[in-house]
Amino acid sequence: MDKNQDKKRNTNIRNIDNIKNTDSLKNTDNPGNTEYPGNTEHPGNTEHEADLLLNWYDTERRILPWREDPTPYHIWISEIMLQQTRVDTVIDYYRRFLNAFPDIQTFAEAPEDQYMKLWEGLGYYSRVRNMHKAAVQIMENYGGKMPGTAPELKKLSGIGEYTAAAIASIAFGQPVPSVDGNLLRVFSRKTCYDKDIKSTAAKKAATAYYAERIPADRPGDYNQALMDLGATICLPNTEPRCAFCPWANCCGARREGRQAALPYMPPKKQRAVDNITVFLIHNNDRILLHKRPETGLLAGLYEFPNTFGALTKNAATQYCTDLLHSELTTTAGRPSTPEILKFRRLPRARHVFSHREWHMTIYEVVIREFPPVSADDAPADLTNNYYLPHIQEALNDYTIPAAFSAGKTYLEKLILLSGENDV
Ligand code: SF4
């Protein structure tokens, strides 16, 4: 940023006190008139602004399954799923989850493998683990009913300020703003707030701003209207659709033509890149899986055996041979080194986490046979958290995160090509 830009930016910085002044911002050209009738006047009071927003919400709101029956449990599940995840993606997960766990008690009593499997593909698996802990807390400490205030809700595992406010306002009618990325963006543009929108100061300023304006009679709708406004009109990373906005006449960014510059975000740091080599080791019947450690990235989930580095075919063959030798034993307890029938490289794959990327080299390793896994042919638990399920069973019952979706897709095709489910 050059000096002039910097100066210009600083002159536009407003603190929370003068943010209030934007309530009296006048829109002289009023181009939103034709598209949104609520823009025909601007009496300059916050109550009227809330009415404009709620009237817009009454006709334009998104139809979402958790809004059909907004119990505290439903709002809670949906809000946790929606963190870092698109609404379109969440809808099916939400329905499947409620199908399996229609209430807090059934969820609290569910085994980890079941709820983890239902979460597969949503990512950020600590969310569902914390949610389960909270369900147990609710059963043990609150008689099976979610507490009704934001401070009490925040005592539950995995419920932070935003989620507590969303549940308290939508399900319990408490007048607390639930400030997520949508509310921050609308706040920044409406008030021309141009400090770092991801900072704690920005969140505090936005919370104070909305707390003064949230109507006592419809707090949940007010929060949801802002969420919808941010998701459908005041869009991120593109031109907002101001002509359709109920707040077009009282928006500072629109008045000053600064929609594209707000909210201000400092340049992102580059993600760290890890090269990983992944092995799909199978005998056309069973596949070798590994359970990750209980802490750290993708904690406790299942993965295809892998190692750091982009291994050449020779190095990968050696690594794989050593791995099989050390992890598989015969029924007599001796190391077993199965014969490798095929060792071939599959297309590379990439997975992006929030702060890092995996660039994956993938090998399919077909072996003649695994050592007998048990007398009754049941899936075996090997040493060091290795498992040998049938391929179909691995895909159906084991929670393998999206980072390994290239391998899963390959195995699904393999099953299809085999023409039967138990390849
Ligand atoms: S007028 Fe435009 S920039 Fe302002 S809040 Fe509405 S959509 Fe966002």
With beta carbons less than 8 A apart as the criterion, state whether 138 and 145 touch.
yes
CA–centroid distance, 82 to ligand 1, in Å, is 23
> Residue 294 pLDDT more than 70?
yes
Domains 9-261 and 272-418 share a fold: no
Tell me which residue has its CA closest to atom 2 in ligand 1.
242
Residues with CB under 6 A from ligand 1: 186, 189-190, 233-234, 240, 242, 245, 247-248, 251, 253-254, 259
Residue range 11-37: average pLDDT?
33
Q: What separation in angstroms does the CA of 349 have from each of 274, 278, 352, 362, 409?
A: 12, 10, 10, 8, 11
Dist. CA 48–CA 59, nearest whole Å: 17
Fold classification of 272-418 is Nucleoside Triphosphate Pyrophosphohydrolase (3.90.79)
Nearest to 413 by CA among 395, 400, 387: 395
- Give 346's pLDDT tier (boundaries 50, 70, 90): very high
pTM attached to this predicted model: 0.74
To the nearest 10 degrees (0 to 180), the angle between helices 72-82 and 161-172 is 150
* Whether the Cβ atoms of residue 88 and residue 64 lie closer than 8 Å to each other: no
Q: How far does residue 87's CA lie from ligand 1's centre (Å)? A: 21
Q: What CA–CA distance (Å, rounded) separates 110 from 108? A: 6
Q: 9-261 has which fold?
A: Endonuclease III; domain 1 (1.10.340)
Residue 229 CB coordination number (10 Å):
27
Distance of CA 51 to the CA centre of its chain: 32
pLDDT at 31 over 90: no
Q: Which active-site residues does the annotation give?
A: 79
Q: Return the structure tokens found at 40.
A: 């025909």
**Per-domain residue ranges of the chain:** 9-261, 272-418
Note the pLDDT tens digit of each residue in 124-157. Answer: 899 999 999 999 999 999 999 999 999 999 999 9
In the reported structure, the alpha carbon of residue 244 is separated from the centroid of ligand 1 by a whole-number distance in angstroms of 9
Nearest ligand 1 atom to alpha carbon 252: 4
Q: Can you tell me the distance from the alpha carbon of 332 to that of 241, in angstroms, rounded to the nearest whole number? A: 70
Using CA positions, which residue lies closest to atom 1 of ligand 1?
248
- Inform me whether the pLDDT recorded for 117 exceeds 60: yes
Q: Distance, CA 185 to ligand 1 centroid (Å)?
A: 9
Residue 333 alpha carbon to ligand 1 centre in Å: 69
Confidence category of residue 32, pLDDT binned at 50, 70, 90: very low
Radius of gyration of the chain (CA): 27
Q: Which atom of ligand 1 is nearest to the CA of 186?
A: 5
Instruction: Tell me the sheet residues that pair with 287.
Output: 282
Which ligand 1 atom is at minimum distance from the Cα of 247?
6
One-letter amino acid for residue 299 of the chain = A
Output the residue whose Cα is nearest ligand 1's atom 8: 234
Residue with CA at minimum distance from ligand 1 atom 4: 251
pLDDT tens-digit readout, 198-242 = 999 999 999 999 999 999 999 999 999 999 999 999 999 889 999
> Ligand 1: which of 25, 29, 254 to mutate, most ligand atoms within 8 Å of CB?
254
pLDDT for residue 8 is more than 80: no
Average pLDDT of the chain is 86
pLDDT-derived band of residue 385, with 50, 70 and 90 as boundaries? Answer: confident
Task: Assess whether pLDDT exceeds 50 at residue 389.
Answer: yes
